[in-house]
Amino acid sequence: MADQTGSGTLTGTASGVAPHGSAAHEESHHGRPVSWVAVAIIVIGFTVGGIAMVPAPKWVLFWVGAGIAIVGTLIAMFSRTFDDWY
| 8 A C-beta contact, residue 29 and residue 83 | yes
- Among residues 37, 44, 43, 48, which one has the least CA distance to residue 76? 37
Interval 3-52: pLDDT, tens:
555 555 555 555 555 555 555 556 665 678 888 999 999 999 999 999 99
| 8 A C-beta contact, residue 29 and residue 35 | yes
Element (H, E) at 77: helix 59-78
Could you tell me the sign of the dihedral formed by the alpha carbons of 13, 14, 17, 19, in that order?
negative
Which comes out higher in pLDDT, residue 69 or 20? 69
pTM: 0.63
